[in-house]
Amino acid sequence: MTERIQKKTDSGFIAKSEPSQILEGIDLDGKVAVVTGGYSGIGLETTRALSDRGVKVYVPVRDPAKAEENLKSMTGDVVVAEMDLADLDSVKTFAQSVAAAENDLHLLINNAGIMACPETRVGNNWESQFAVNHLGHFVLTTELLPQLLAANGSRVVCLSSIGHKRSDILWDDIHYNNNPYEKWTAYAQSKSANALFALGLDMKYRDQGVQAFSVHPGGIMTPLQRHLDNEEMQALGWTDAEGNLSELAASLFKSTTQGCTTTLWAATSPALANTGGLYCEDCDVANLATEDSPPYVDVAPWAANEDSALRLWDLTEQMLVG
């Protein structure tokens, strides 16, 4: 088993850097991007930061009314089209619409996701967190590969989470066909899958000009927490009894603008020009986790494992044709 080398650099940024700092001096004028979930939470701020710098941003949306309201303040070139990551036909239709309009795609930000939701089945009886967070983005990315390859230097950023440290891929029961569903483990394996997908994509296509990275954006209060009540968030140490951020969370959590900066750094930093497949956090490359790692930083070895990345790629293709 081979772990991709992970080692912090001196990126010059901090955990709570702002988008303007990350993008200072980066020429993005005329570039084209797709940002899933780009109309809510940190995805909205990713769209704003890129479009403000001259990027044409395609935003696939599951809720057009919400997207229209949230995106109305955008001054850049933002194109909205319907897509539901749980519906792979809609994913393919969206990808085809982008391909019909654009020869080149420079940035693909796989930002959207669901977390700790009740057990739900979609598609071919797939567990929804794995299906939405991984399978939907796998299909979107592979459908857009011709445009990514044509850009002669593109980047794909897959949003993972520190939650991946709860679980490797449940290789023998990914969709909970044999064991009771557990929402946090299901979320964790989907986030490990996001990191492994970025690694596998980079292994397969970097020599052809497509780099890929995975990102832990940090703790941020966004609609991602919509399936959690305050009692559970309080037990996690995130909030107090009144629903306000706990003292610890207030010191660690980021604003939504700060929450998009590791994504922006992975998508644009010249320091990453000759690398790929890395898991990033706090506007830098993460270290590989050890037994002494704090719980809120570093990447678990199973999420940086090249053999596992290729194994997941093969399993995913089998699911999609099954």
Under 8 Å between Cβ of 52 and 73:
no
Does residue 126 sit in the same domain as residue 243? no
In a domain, 267, yes or no: yes
Q: Domain range spanning residue 106?
A: 19-219+256-321
| In contact, 50 and 119? CB cutoff 8 Å | no
Q: Which of the residues 11, 17, 51, 160 is marked catalytic? A: 160
> Of 187, 192, 214, 254, which is the active-site residue?
187
How do residues 253-304 score in pLDDT, each as one tens digit? 788 999 999 999 999 999 999 999 999 999 999 999 999 999 889 999 999 9
Q: Is the pTM of this model over 0.85?
A: yes
Looking at the structure, tell me whether residues 279 and 242 fall in a common domain: no
Same domain for 127 and 241?
no
Query: What are φ and ψ of residue 214, in 5° steps?
Result: -110, 155
Residues 198, 233, single domain; the answer is no
Q: Is 6 part of a structural domain of the chain? A: no
Do 129 and 76 lie in one domain? The reply is yes
- Residues 99 and 140 grouped into a single domain: yes
Please check whether residue 11 lies inside any domain of the structure. Answer: no
How far is the C-alpha of 118 from the C-alpha of 75, rounded, in Å?
37
**Same structural domain, 202 and 156:** yes
Q: Each residue of 146-197: pLDDT tens digit?
A: 999 999 999 999 999 999 999 999 999 999 999 999 999 999 999 999 999 9
* Total tally of structural domains belonging to the chain: 2
- Catalytic (active site) residue 160: yes
Calpha distance 290→48 (Å, rounded): 36
CATH of residue 97: 3.40.50.720
CA pair distance 216, 218, nearest whole angstrom? 6
Helix (H) or strand (E) holding 284: strand 284-285
254 as an active site residue: the answer is no
- On whether the CB atoms of residues 187 and 129 are closer than 8 A, the answer is yes
Q: What is the DSSP string of 227-259?
A: G--HHHHHHTTSB-TTSSBPHHHHHH---HHHH
For 145-168, letters b (16+ CB in 10 Å) and e give: bebbeebeebbbbbbbbbbbbbbb
39 is catalytic: no
25 lies in the same domain as 172: yes
Is the domain of 200 the same as that of 154? yes
Looking at the chain, the whole-number percentage of residues with pLDDT higher than 90 is 82
271 is a domain residue = yes
Which token pair is 283?
């506007």
Judge if 202 and 170 occupy the same domain.
yes
pLDDT digits (tens, 9 = 90+) for 44-69: 999 999 999 999 999 999 999 999 99
Please tell me which residue in 31, 165, 191, 254 is annotated as part of the active site: 191
| Residue 129, helix vs strand vs coil | helix
37 close to 113: Cβ distance less than 8 angstroms: yes
